Amino acid sequence: MYECILVPTDGSPEVERALEYAFDLARAHDARVRAIYVVNAASYGGLPMETAWEGISGALREEGEAAVRRVEELAPDDIAVETAVLEGEPSRVIVEHAQPDRCELVVMGTHGRGGIDRLLLGSVTERVVRRAPVPVLTVQVDQTETEDQREKQMAVE
């Protein structure tokens, strides 16, 4: 059913919970996992031109490389993992890679913000859910879960 599962990462430890689901699904479907980190150049648009951006861009790319390397480290030996560090607006780049001919499922973490926080902060996950032409599985990453609970949830899915 799935050949590729896309997992965007921001490098935070919370993403590991979403990765657990992605790895379980990849194993169940004999799929590969594609982990991407998106450097959001637009969020640094107000800085002085050349010198500031070059330094920040390099640091963000290094952060991205560390984030996708962590995904590779966490991956079980029987799961194929591809990684990429990309530039652009995160939700747009994620949706570009979430296409039926690229990756047929997206697994993303969400912090479960509600009310005014969600309205003020916006959400990359929410934008991906609304725009992606493939299914998006959101995993609330700010809760802890036992292995037994995850297995029960996977059995339901």
Task: Sort 116 into a burial class: Cβ within 10 Å, 0-12 / 13-18 / 19+.
Answer: exposed
Q: What are the residues whose beta carbons fall under 8 Å from the beta carbon of 155, sequence distance 6 or more?
A: none
Confidence at residue 63, expressed as pLDDT on a 0 to 100 scale = 93
Confidence at residue 102, expressed as pLDDT on a 0 to 100 scale = 93
Rounded to whole angstroms, how far apart are CA atoms 8 and 95?
10
Sign for the CA dihedral angle at 65, 85, 135, 130 comes to positive
Q: Are 86 and 57 in contact (CB under 8 A)?
A: no
Residue 153 has pLDDT above 70, yes or no: no
Amino acid identity of residue 148, one-letter, is D
Confidence at residue 60, expressed as pLDDT on a 0 to 100 scale = 86
State how beta strands 105-110 and 81-87 pair: unpaired
Give residue-wise pLDDT tens across range 1-23.
899 999 999 988 889 999 999 99
Q: What H or E segment, with its residue span, contains residue 154?
A: helix 147-156
Average pLDDT score over the chain: 84
Checking phi first, is residue 21 left (phi over 0); if not, alpha (psi -120 to 50) or beta? Answer: alpha
Q: Please give the residue range of the domain that contains residue 140.
A: 4-156
- Of 18, 58, 25, nearest to 41 by C-alpha is 58
Q: What is the pTM of this model?
A: 0.82
Confidence at residue 141, expressed as pLDDT on a 0 to 100 scale = 81
Q: Domain containing 150 — which CATH number?
A: 3.40.50.620
Give me the number of domains the chain comprises: 1
CA geometry: angle 93, 27, 22, nearest 5 deg = 35
Q: Are 141 and 18 in contact (CB under 8 A)?
A: yes
